[in-house]
Amino acid sequence: MARISFTGHLTRHLACPDADAPGATVAEVLEAVFADNPRLRGYLLDDQGRVRKHVNIFINDEAIADRDGLSDPVAEGDEIFVFQALSGG
């Protein structure tokens, strides 16, 4: 199980509470979360399943490397943070 938490800015659009989810990669953890919250997928990933340009995903304190395939490994007890880069006016 990994612990995953989301930027508060997402809650303007949909509910996404912190969750414990299984998975050996970021993709697997996210799929487990999307199973209960299918609308969340389109907020984090684009049509091709890539992490949206201004969304960042960290495992503990490291940004994931594979933003297109989400293949970064996740270990038991890891913390995953999903947040955004605020920009613009």
Partner 1 sequence: MAQVLHAATRKGLLTYRPGKGGAWRLDGTAFLGEPVSAALHDARDGTLYAALDLGHFGVKLHRSEDGGANWTEVAAPAFAEEKDRPPPDPMSGEWPPKKEGPSVALIWTLAPGGADRPGRIWAGTVPGGLFRSEDRGESWQLVESLWNEPSRPKWMGVVYDQAGMHSVLVDPRDSDRVTVAISTGGVWRTEDAGGSWTLFGNGMRNEYMPPDKMRDPLSQDVHRMAACAVRPETVWVQHHNGIFRSEDGGLNFTEIEAEAPSRFGFTVAAHPKKPKTAWFVPAVKDQYRVAVDGRMVVTRTDDGGESFRAFSDGLPQENCFDLVYRHGLELDGAAAHLAMGSTTGNLWVGSEDGAKWAHVAGFLPPIYQVSWGAEA
> Where do contacts with partner 1 occur on this chain (CB under 8 A)?
9-10, 13-14, 39, 42-44, 46-50, 52, 54-55, 65-66, 68-69, 71, 84-88
Nearer to partner 1, 17 or 88 (CB): 88
77 dihedral zone (left: phi>0; alpha: psi -120 to 50; beta): left
The β-bridge partners of 55 are: 84
- Least distance to partner 1, CB of residue 41, Å: 10
Nearest one of 37, 24, 19 to 82, comparing CA atoms: 19
Q: What's the min distance (Å) between Cβ of 26 and partner 1?
A: 12
